Amino acid sequence: MPPSSSTLLDAFDQKILKILQQSNRTTSDQIAEQVGLSPAAIQRRIKRMREQQIISADVSIVNARAIGRNMTLIVQVSLERERVDLIDLFKKETKKREEVQQCYYVTGSADFILVVTAADMEEYEQFTRDMFFDNTNVRSFQTHVVMDPVKVGLTVPVDD
Amino acid sequence: MPPSSSTLLDAFDQKILKILQQSNRTTSDQIAEQVGLSPAAIQRRIKRMREQQIISADVSIVNARAIGRNMTLIVQVSLERERVDLIDLFKKETKKREEVQQCYYVTGSADFILVVTAADMEEYEQFTRDMFFDNTNVRSFQTHVVMDPVKVGLTVPVDD
DNA sequence: GGTGAAAACGTTACGAG
DNA sequence: CTCGTAACGTTTTCACC
């Protein structure tokens, strides 16, 4: 480890984070008991980590079925030309579409990998028409239908 | 609660959910103002939705870099044989590994799609050795290195 | 669903190590 | 500089309308 990369997080912080990643409604009292600090100290640390964007968000996770999104699909997209402006355009479009839960720009055989939710196949097909077929810069795309979301990463997305 | 229960969300619930998906630390006062209900009514609705698992979790999102996970990789895995017991075994292993942020069992050209985080390439290679090379049931895997996590779905993962 | 009081929680000031 | 204690302000919870 480089000498300058100071450890921003001591053992206490790491324990706190691990708890908050599972449930951010855990009270400082409960956390305090588990990590061995006073509730006030816990709160101070959490506040600091939120300000430093170590904790980048605090969110409720909603069951997709409850809001009529029964399907999850994973799509690999290859662009026709890898031009920066076209890549940026594609990124922008994915950000706008509510169906796109996640979008990654990647190296390898594909250019983008998307996690998409839809109420049903018809809705997904409409989405593919809008996003892929009507987009001359999309060379090809390949869909994987999710049968079982074995593990859903509540823990550590990347962000900056 | 039985799985057949078709729960209905009215316009108020939907507005509340949308706010909570962005920040579950929004106070009932603020939500009340935005949706046009009293704070107590907001709280009652939130409580109900948590009990019904419409809200399945409340979590802090932690910046991966802050905890020394600089890389995100997306991996497609194909198994040698699609036997239920071997599939279940693979699911179990992914659940155990902290590197695996997300795991989906899918139809299509691959069997599983994983979102993996690692501190560096070396750590990822160790992971591939443990999970794939040493696993006789893994036929092949293909890695995509994430260059830009364009959009990270804080909103609507699937869950049961 | 609204109101208001009580309880729980987060926040801050202060003294101590 | 960060802890713990304790007072304070805010938010949630709950009985009642």
B160 vs B124, residue with greater confidence: B124
A64-145: CATH number: 3.30.70.920
A138 vs A154, residue with greater confidence: A138
pLDDT confidence of residue A7? 63
The yes-or-no verdict on residue B2 having pLDDT over 70 is no
User: Rounded distance, CA A42 to CA A160, Å?
Assistant: 24
Instruction: State the helix-helix crossing angle for B11-22 and B28-35, rounded to 10 degrees.
Output: 130
User: Rounded distance, CA A103 to CA A148, Å?
Assistant: 19
Asked if residues A113 and B149 have their Cβ atoms less than 8 Å apart, the reply is: no
**Full-model pTM:** 0.84
Residue A39, CB, less than 7 Å from strand C?
yes
Over residues A94-138, the pLDDT tens digits come to: 999 999 999 999 998 889 999 999 999 999 999 999 999 999 999
Would the CB atoms of A155 and B62 count as touching at under 8 Å? yes
Mean model confidence pLDDT for chain B: 90
* DSSP conformational letter for B132: I
What residues have CB less than 8 Å from B116, skipping those under 6 apart? B72, B73, B74, B75, B99, B100, B101, B124, B127
Closest nucleotide to B43's CA, by C1' atom?
D12
pLDDT confidence of residue A153? 67
* Percentage of the residues of chain B whose pLDDT score is greater than 90: 80
From the CB of residue B67, how many other CB atoms can be counted at a distance below 10 Å?
20
H helices of chain B, where? 11-22, 28-35, 39-51, 84-96, 121-128
Residue B48, CB, less than 7 Å from strand C?
no
pLDDT confidence of residue B3? 41
Over residues B52-103, the pLDDT tens digits come to: 999 999 999 998 888 888 899 999 999 999 899 999 999 999 999 999 999 9
The yes-or-no verdict on residue A3 having pLDDT over 60 is no
User: Rounded distance, CA A67 to CA B13, Å?
Assistant: 10
Q: Which residue is nearest to nucleotide C9 (CA to C1')?
A: A27
pLDDT confidence of residue B70? 87
* Percentage of the residues of chain A whose pLDDT score is greater than 90: 81
Domain boundaries, chain B: 9-51, 64-145
pLDDT confidence of residue B7? 58
Candidates B22, B107, B146, B160; CA nearest to A66 is: B160
Query: What residues of chain B lie within 8 A of the CB of A18, using their CB?
Result: none
From the CB of residue A119, how many other CB atoms can be counted at a distance below 10 Å?
15
Instruction: State the helix-helix crossing angle for B11-22 and B39-51, rounded to 10 degrees.
Output: 80
Would the CB atoms of A60 and B24 count as touching at under 8 Å? yes
pLDDT confidence of residue A154? 56
Considering Cα of A55, then A58, then A59, then A60, what sign does the dihedral take?
A: positive
pLDDT confidence of residue A108? 87
Residue A105, CB, less than 7 Å from strand D?
no
Reported as a pLDDT band with limits 50, 70 and 90, residue B6 is low
Asked if residues A101 and A134 have their Cβ atoms less than 8 Å apart, the reply is: no
User: Rounded distance, CA A159 to CA A106, Å?
Assistant: 15
Over residues B99-119, the pLDDT tens digits come to: 999 999 999 888 999 999 999
CATH class in words for A9-51: mainly alpha
Q: Which long-range contacts (CB under 8 A, 24 or more apart) does A127-133 make?
A: A127/A97, A127/A99, A130/A97, A131/A93, A131/A94, A131/A97, A132/A77
CA atom of B40 to C1′ atom of D15, Å: 13
